[in-house]
Amino acid sequence: MDKSLISVRGLSHRYNTQWAIRGISFDLPETGVYGLLGSNGAGKSTTMNIISGVLKQTEGEVIVNGISLNEDPIAAKKLIGFLPQHAPLHPDTTVQEYLSNCARLRKIPEKEVRNAVNEVMEKVSITHFEKRLIRNLSGGYKQRVGIAQAIIHKPAIIILDEPTNGLDPNQIMEVRKLVRDIAKERAVIFSTHILTEVHAICDHILMIDRGKLVFSGETREFDNYLQPDSLLVRLLAAPPVEQILQIAGITDAEALGGGEYRLKIGGSSRIAEQFIVECVSRNWRLETIHPEKTSLNDVFSELSNKNA
């Protein structure tokens, strides 16, 4: 049997006649944060619902720590914790009551329920709210409760579907830190459509576009697709575009008005430095220079075309 924490093989799912995902395969060999990246409607939620056992796939197989989800779903699901995009909270229960119910649903022995609840509340820093009704918690603390129910049984894999969606900046930072702490002991699949979120928290990236896996690798590998491909500059002594195009490495130049130009670059990673030297020697009086990175949509397009 495969010894990866999760192995996904040829996963496909169809709603009526429409394929939501098609032929997705990947492995999660170790602990860490795996970013499931894709635009809205790309197939992220379908993939996570299948892996967590909520949805039965049309084709393919999911193996959790050597256990087939098809052949032994109960044993496989014991190893998984899942937080859907809308946390399944019961607003009229206290935090302690809710997590106690979750512990029992996860088949934690009754004599161990209290200790499990106390431990997970401390883990996600909500012990001081144990007697508070969930409806009276802030969005950030509700999300912490949602994460707590996903990890209360100490699973090997945690699946979080856009856990920072709708939170304010401070709450987002708190949830990110919590996820990184959790990922020290287990594998976390972290779904998002926000590129900055991936860079802030993920070690590895799985990118889905139009139902197909178009990238799987470490974050630093993905960054190769996000190198600056243009420079935005402002020159106080603005020259004709033809003179700028004489500089090696600048493949195109667009005059934006007011001394601003967008320069398409290629080749050496030191083109910006070379351009600054040319500005000094030609007395163009460079005022500002900013690299512009490829947009996420462009990355989707490039990776999709490579894997078409």
Check residue 229 and give its pLDDT.
73
Main-chain dihedrals φ then ψ at residue 223, nearest 5 degrees: -65, -20
242 and 208 share one domain: no
192 and 292 share one domain: no
Asked if residue 276 is part of any domain, the answer here is yes
Beta bridge partners of 19: 14
Whether pLDDT at 183 is above 70: yes
Query: Mean pLDDT, to the nearest integer, of 71-83?
Result: 94
* pLDDT per residue as tens digits for the range 13-35: 999 889 999 999 999 988 899 99
Asked if residue 104 is part of any domain, the answer here is yes
Closest CA to 63 of 216, 250, 73, 293: 73
71 and 46 share one domain: yes
Closest CA to 191 of 203, 180, 205: 205
Asked if residue 193 is part of any domain, the answer here is yes
DSSP code, position 203: S
Using CA atoms, how far apart are residues 204 and 222, in angstroms rounded to an integer? 9
Asked which of 223, 239, 258 is the last residue of a domain, the reply is 223
HSE value, Cβ hemisphere, 13 Å, CA-based, for 34: 24
231 and 219 share one domain: no
Query: Mean pLDDT, to the nearest integer, of 219-245?
Result: 83
171 and 111 share one domain: yes
CA distances from residue 110 to 50, 81, 114, 120, 213 in whole angstroms, order as listed: 30, 20, 8, 16, 42
139 and 206 share one domain: yes
Check residue 86 and give its pLDDT.
86
Query: Mean pLDDT, to the nearest integer, of 222-238?
Result: 80
Look at phi and psi of residue 210 and say left if phi exceeds 0, alpha if psi is from -120 to 50, else beta: left
Closest CA to 148 of 174, 181, 117, 186: 117
Asked if residue 1 is part of any domain, the answer here is no
Check residue 269 and give its pLDDT.
61
Asked which of 223, 247, 264 is the last residue of a domain, the reply is 223
* pLDDT per residue as tens digits for the range 58-69: 999 999 999 999
Check residue 302 and give its pLDDT.
63
35 and 182 share one domain: yes
Asked if residue 161 is part of any domain, the answer here is yes
* Helix or strand holding residue 263 (H, E): strand 260-265
Query: Number of helices and strands (H, E) in the chain?
Result: 11, 14
Check residue 145 and give its pLDDT.
96
Tell me the CATH number at 238: 3.30.70.1560
pLDDT band at 1 (very low <50, low <70, confident <90, very high): very low
Other C-beta atoms closer than 10 Å to the C-beta of 36 total 29
Asked if residue 41 is part of any domain, the answer here is yes
Residues in the chain: 308
Whether pLDDT at 281 is above 90: yes
72 and 134 share one domain: yes
Main-chain dihedrals φ then ψ at residue 46, nearest 5 degrees: -60, -45
Range of the domain at 14: 6-223
Using CA atoms, how far apart are residues 82 and 241, in angstroms rounded to an integer? 55
Tokens describing residue 82: 């899942």
Whether pLDDT at 101 is above 50: yes
128 and 241 share one domain: no
Tell me the CATH number at 186: 3.40.50.300
259 and 218 share one domain: no
46 and 194 share one domain: yes
10 Å CB burial of residue 172 (0-12, 13-18, 19+) is: buried
Closest CA to 250 of 235, 237, 231, 233: 231
DSSP code, position 134: G
> Based on C-alpha coordinates, what's the Rg of the chain?
24
Asked if residue 92 is part of any domain, the answer here is yes
Structurally, the chain folds into a number of domains equal to: 2
